[in-house]
Structure 1
Amino acid sequence: MSTAVLAEAVPVILLLGVLAFAVLRPRGLPEAVAAVPAAALAVALGTVTPHQAWEQTRTLLPVVAFLALVLVLAHLCAREGLFEAVGAAVARRCGGSPSRLLAGVFAMACAVTAVLSLDATVVLLTPVVLATASRAGARARPHVYATAHLANSASLLLPVSNLTNLLAFTASGLSFTRFAALMALPWLAAIAVEYVVFRRFFRADLTEPAAVGHAPTPTPTPDHEPRPAPAVPRFTVVVVALTLAGFALSSPVGLDPAWAALGGVLVLGGRALARRQVGPRELVGAASPLFCLFVLALGVVVQAVMAGAPATGLGRLLPQGDSLPALLGVAAVAAVLANAVNNLPAVLALLPLAAPAGPGQVLAVLIGVNLGPNLTYVGSLATLLWRRILHRYGVEAELGRFTRLGLLTVPATVVASTVALWGALHLVGA
């Protein structure tokens, strides 16, 4: 093997090793355990220079800091009981109808994903949905599958909805409100397709009562009376609403939206600390520092990969321009790559290639990497985490069912959202 071939093969091997470790997570070790040494090795072997590694890290740092703040904000909302209160309200309003419950879960998951990120939907909302289905006497399966799909599909709307969105937002040069305006139609299109497919795919679960033991409801005892429905924490809702408004208003005045997220965290976090509801260590843990470190290290590894032939090959695959066929081609390439190597490396690899062509191609990449992972477990780290959460609650996530559902939703959502993006680009303008 020639030196040139070896130099190109080593970063690819490192990337595949990091991704395999992230999927398997032996002994529950964090992803950074593999990513940080891989990044260091890439620098040591000269496949990426220290300057390139630092520039990539410096570019990603504001995005990762923003992600950490949003994760803390979502954790504080959960601590205040926001998700439980909304879940209880949805269960009350469904009136015992599994179909209405599915609509309520869709609305709840879409709102949480858009405003508090897909991680909040997967980690914090999924257990609430399980409890909500149990409270309503409905089968849990369609509703928990909805949290997995909507964590990806409903994350198209705002820059804060997904780490991939934050990266695309930075690369696009758009303001917060312009990004949201362009992605509103693609977001609605993806959700509409998901809902239609879910209603048909899970029609048996939505028309039959819950199987005995499938979604157990705790039986009250004299020593353990059922708790009253939790009240919506109004102070928390107001803070989240003001934080979201801060996101929208920060870009026009030249401020980073992270300042609005920091404000929300300081208000809710300071209140929780004063009441001794949380401790400093818990807040630091909620920011997922090891996952943030993983993202930074993964960025360096991807930078090493893209320094060689793969960048040229991917560049040839991406169609030029923002015509509808070109945008469909870009979204398709992004979706395939996300399922091949996970959506985070895919977006890190594709954004530098798409950004020179303008916001249209950047947002088409985002559609592919956000919607594509609903086809396979490995397409998104959020989906892998969703599986682990279901396993913890004794619910089986069947590979065959997940794949069949993905085959029905992914091509349809990618096409519908890309067509909607093309329309938005002409209506709103980039």
Structure 2
Amino acid sequence: MTAAAIFLATLILVLWQPTIGRFQLGIGWSAAAGALVAFAAGVIQPADVPVVWAIVWNATFTFIALIIISLLLDEAGFFNWAALHLARWAGGSGPRLFVVMVLLGALVAAFFANDGAALILTPIVIGILLALRMPPTATLAFVMAAGFIADTASMPLVVSNLVNIVVADYFQLGFADYAAVMVPVTLVSVLASLGVLWLYFRRSIPKTYACDALNSPSKAIIDRSVFRAGWWVLAWLLFGFFVLDSWGVPISLVAAIGAFILWLIARRGAKINTRTVLIHAPWQVVIFSLGMYLVVYGLKNVGLTDVLTHWFDQLAHLGLWGATAVLMGTLAIDGTQASGTTHLAMVYANIIGCDLGPKFTPIGSLATLLWLHVLARKQIVISWGYYFKVGLILTTPVLLLTLLALALRLSVSLTRAASGHVYFSLKDQQAEVRCALFRGQAMRVKTAFANGDAVVVRGSVSLYAPRGDYQLIVTGVELAGDGQLAVLFEALKKKLFAEGLFDAARKRAIPTLSRRILVISSAAGAALQDVLSTLIRRLPLVEINLVPVAVQGEAAAAELTAAVRGITSDSEFDVVLLVRGGGSMSDLWAFNDEALVRAIAACPVPVISGVGHEPSANCRPRWSYSKNSFPG
């Protein structure tokens, strides 16, 4: 309770930012105060500081460097030039102007973060609307769109939002890998945002406007040297983020180099007050990131994230689509047993929830608070009641469509990362270790290996500090025989064949018309739904009974064996269905357990196996007394 109370009090201070005498307690000092109270209460310890700093430093300095770049470009007239060009390109059409301004906001948010879009683009949009003498209702529509798109378009790149950087660093998501997933997802979010904004504000947008009222875009350029250099800096950022990141160069260093070069050019030109730009950079975010995350880390220390972990593990049983319901809890997600695409879905859904969820309220994100501050300076007041109403109407469909797009995107296999890196795990019956085969080495490895293969790897042990995880940085891979799991499978099959367990004479006849069927499967699996729909369609009068068991993981073999052993001749079942969906050999390994084989052999009722889809046929339990293709 103490940790939760400190968290809530810190959050209130961050949002309130009270003035004490002549000193305003900004977001940085508010978060720092919360961290100090957490230290005093024993919720966090000094040893937690380097752990938290390892999580937030890259995100924090990347964010500051990008804001400095955006401030310099703004002072040089870069964004005003772009906005005027788009306004002229719209050709006097109000609806077209609305669309291009929303798309401009999306581009600025993508490359300069949501806070940069809110801080820079909003006053430019207001200035253009005033020059065009737009009515107040139209101005409200455009500024609401500018504020909304700043967050809903802040997902495509790691640098588009502070949240993205923190989560990508924590889960070791490469820049290109992240973009490969989130760029198409964000396109859906932007199009959905544009659609709901247009539907809501369409009556407030004038059909035409006079282009003659706009200044020439060339007159908006204040410092041509910085303006021209800005294009080269943007090219450098793209190169550094997509290429150098895969070589292990921190994105904060890439952004800092770009900011420093642009600042030097601006300082030499003397048309921009570079000292003011540095003063106005959000340095308090450094203190805020460390202080606020320490307070959040206190929640982890007292076990709150363990509760979330349990919830996420339950959602993980629903697979990819269930995982998209997870909207928070990076630390909790890291503790779950979910793996593969389901784990990735949790991570990316967490990002989507943190980026879009704040649009429900006017205090949900720093970008929204900055946007409201800019509007207040321009004498434009947005009431909280109005924002709550609009936020609820606009955010809900965009959030749902974006999560749906994520689920569809992750339906594509992500075994090999878009950057060319290969991530996998080495495991035997006792242990498991994570491995990373980076692109440069992966190109030199000629051995093709897959799930279930026994391999010999060469590499070095590395510590990933933010999670405290050890991993093996692989430099070479060779197959060890035909794969250890395959070897074990063949050895067990040979042994049981020799004992006569698979003799045709032992097969039990399946009744032509079954009246009572026992299904042994996971209650949450898609396989069960396939079986039920098939049985209801083909045998509508049959009585179906379910024994829910784990079908994957450490407990699966024991639960499956116990379920089969529990069937007696008095059970009055005509047939038993043992089913689960497809997967790798390691996923299906519980069905290769020797005790389960012997339990099936001793079962007095015929057993039909439906394990895996047809491509997984080599992993089926061949010892079952009948074998049918798995429906679906």
TM-score where L is the length of structure 1: 0.85
> Aligned in 2, Cα 1:40/1:116: closer, same or farther, shift over 3 Å?
same
Task: Confirm or deny: 8 A CA contact 2:10 2:33 kept in the other structure.
Answer: no
1:54 aligns with 2:50: yes
> Aligned in 2, Cα 1:12/1:349: closer, same or farther, shift over 3 Å?
farther
Task: Confirm or deny: 8 A CA contact 1:351 1:362 kept in the other structure.
Answer: yes
Residue of 5, 21, 26 corresponding to 1:13 = 5
Q: What is the CA distance between 1:184 and its match in structure 2?
A: 1.3
Equivalence for 1:106: 102
Counterpart CA distance in 2 for 1:355 and 1:189 is 30
Larger-gyration structure (1/2)? 2
Residue of 23, 32, 52 corresponding to 2:15 = 23
> Aligned in 2, Cα 1:32/1:41: closer, same or farther, shift over 3 Å?
same
State the Cα RMSD in Å: 2.6
Counterpart CA distance in 2 for 1:158 and 1:279 is 30
Unpaired runs of 5+ in structure 2? 416-632
Q: What is the CA distance between 1:350 and its match in structure 2?
A: 4.9
Pairwise mapping of residues 182-331 of structure 1 onto structure 2 (< 5 A)?
182-207=181-206, 229-231=219-221, 233-278=227-272, 281-318=275-312, 319-320=315-316, 323-331=319-327
Equivalence for 1:343: none
> Aligned in 2, Cα 1:312/1:83: closer, same or farther, shift over 3 Å?
same
Task: Confirm or deny: 8 A CA contact 2:352 2:403 kept in the other structure.
Answer: yes
Counterpart CA distance in 2 for 1:19 and 1:119 is 19
> Aligned in 2, Cα 1:385/1:114: closer, same or farther, shift over 3 Å?
same
Counterpart CA distance in 2 for 1:377 and 1:353 is 31
Equivalence for 2:31: 35
Equivalence for 1:393: 378
Task: Confirm or deny: 8 A CA contact 1:243 1:264 kept in the other structure.
Answer: yes
Task: Confirm or deny: 8 A CA contact 1:354 1:362 kept in the other structure.
Answer: no
Q: What is the CA distance between 1:173 and its match in structure 2?
A: 1.8
Equivalence for 2:64: 68
Q: Report the secondary structure of 1:330's partner residue.
A: coil
Counterpart CA distance in 2 for 1:230 and 1:321 is 56
Q: What is the CA distance between 1:249 and its match in structure 2?
A: 0.8
Question: 1:353-407: per-residue Cα shift (whole Å, max 9, x none)?
Answer: 4697433211110011111111111221211221111111011213333223222
Counterpart CA distance in 2 for 1:227 and 1:60 is 39
Counterpart CA distance in 1 for 2:290 and 2:271 is 31
Query: After the TM superposition, which of the residue ranges 153-162 and 199-208 deviates more from structure 2?
Result: 199-208
Counterpart CA distance in 2 for 1:369 and 1:169 is 13
Task: Confirm or deny: 8 A CA contact 1:171 1:355 kept in the other structure.
Answer: no
Task: Confirm or deny: 8 A CA contact 2:95 2:207 kept in the other structure.
Answer: no
Query: After the TM superposition, which of the residue ranges 398-407 and 253-262 deviates more from structure 2?
Result: 398-407
Residue of 79, 85, 92 corresponding to 2:88 = 92
Equivalence for 2:357: 372
Q: Report the secondary structure of 1:396's partner residue.
A: coil
Q: What is the CA distance between 1:205 and its match in structure 2?
A: 0.8
Task: Confirm or deny: 8 A CA contact 2:125 2:142 kept in the other structure.
Answer: yes
> Aligned in 2, Cα 1:257/1:173: closer, same or farther, shift over 3 Å?
same
Between Structure 1 and Structure 2, the one with more helix by share is 1
Equivalence for 1:161: 160
Instruction: State the AA in 2 paired with 1:230.
Output: A
Instruction: State the AA in 1 paired with 2:49.
Output: A
> Aligned in 2, Cα 1:309/1:359: closer, same or farther, shift over 3 Å?
same
Equivalence for 1:3: none
> Aligned in 2, Cα 1:43/1:348: closer, same or farther, shift over 3 Å?
farther
Q: What is the CA distance between 1:197 and its match in structure 2?
A: 0.9
Q: Report the secondary structure of 1:96's partner residue.
A: coil
Task: Confirm or deny: 8 A CA contact 1:122 1:386 kept in the other structure.
Answer: yes
Equivalence for 1:215: none
Question: 1:232-256: per-residue Cα shift (whole Å, max 9, x none)?
Answer: 8333123212222221111222211
Counterpart CA distance in 2 for 1:322 and 1:187 is 24
Counterpart CA distance in 2 for 1:321 and 1:263 is 45
Q: What is the CA distance between 1:278 and its match in structure 2?
A: 4.5
Counterpart CA distance in 2 for 1:361 and 1:350 is 10
Query: After the TM superposition, which of the residue ranges 156-165 and 40-49 deviates more from structure 2?
Result: 40-49
Query: After the TM superposition, which of the residue ranges 349-358 and 409-418 deviates more from structure 2?
Result: 349-358
> Aligned in 2, Cα 1:110/1:20: closer, same or farther, shift over 3 Å?
same
> Aligned in 2, Cα 1:294/1:31: closer, same or farther, shift over 3 Å?
same
Q: Report the secondary structure of 1:274's partner residue.
A: helix
Counterpart CA distance in 1 for 2:274 and 2:408 is 47
> Aligned in 2, Cα 1:46/1:366: closer, same or farther, shift over 3 Å?
same
Counterpart CA distance in 2 for 1:262 and 1:12 is 36
Counterpart CA distance in 2 for 1:177 and 1:59 is 20
Question: 1:186-221: per-residue Cα shift (whole Å, max 9, x none)?
Answer: 1011111111111110012114679xxxxxxxx99x
Counterpart CA distance in 1 for 2:6 and 2:347 is 26
Q: What is the CA distance between 1:54 and its match in structure 2?
A: 2.7
Counterpart CA distance in 1 for 2:139 and 2:412 is 40
Task: Confirm or deny: 8 A CA contact 1:91 1:136 kept in the other structure.
Answer: no
Residue of 136, 146, 156 corresponding to 2:132 = 136
Question: 1:103-127: per-residue Cα shift (whole Å, max 9, x none)?
Answer: 1111110110000111111111110
Instruction: State the AA in 2 paired with 1:55.
Output: V
Q: Report the secondary structure of 2:352's partner residue.
A: helix
Greater relative CO (CA pairs within 8 A, separation 6+)? 1
> Aligned in 2, Cα 1:227/1:418: closer, same or farther, shift over 3 Å?
closer
1:382 aligns with 2:401: no
Q: Report the secondary structure of 1:378's partner residue.
A: coil
Counterpart CA distance in 1 for 2:333 and 2:285 is 21
Between Structure 1 and Structure 2, the one with more strand by share is 2
Instruction: State the AA in 1 paired with 2:378.
Output: Y
Task: Confirm or deny: 8 A CA contact 1:176 1:251 kept in the other structure.
Answer: yes
Instruction: State the AA in 2 paired with 1:422.
Output: A
Counterpart CA distance in 2 for 1:406 and 1:38 is 29
Q: What is the CA distance between 1:91 and its match in structure 2?
A: 1.8
Counterpart CA distance in 1 for 2:414 and 2:216 is 53
Equivalence for 1:344: none
Equivalence for 2:345: 360
